Amino acid sequence: MATETIDRPAEASGTFALGGDLPIHRLGYGAMQITGPGVWGDPADPDEAVRVLRRAVELGVDFIDTADSYGPFVSEQLIRRALHPYPDDLVIATKAGLTRAGPADWRPVGRPEYLRQQLELSLRHLGVDSIDLYQLHRIDAKVPLADQIGALVEFQQEGKIRHIGVSEVSVDELAQARELATIVSVQNLYNLANRRAEDVLDYAEANNIAFIPWFPIATGELARPGGPLDKIAEHHDATPSQLALAWLLRRSPVLLPIPGTSSVAHVEENTAAATVTLTDEEFQALSDAV
70 noted as active-site residue: yes
Burial of 7 (0-12, 13-18, 19+ CB in 10 A): exposed
* Closest C-alpha among 56, 16, 11, 24 to residue 275: 11
Could you say which of 29, 70, 86, 203 is catalytic?
A: 70
Which residues 6+ apart lie within 8 Å of 231 measured at CB? none
Name the nearest CA neighbour of 243 among 287, 201, 188: 287
CA dihedral 159, 163, 169, 174 (to 10 degrees): 100
Q: How many CA atoms lie within 13 A of 181 on its CB side?
A: 29
Known catalytic residues are 70
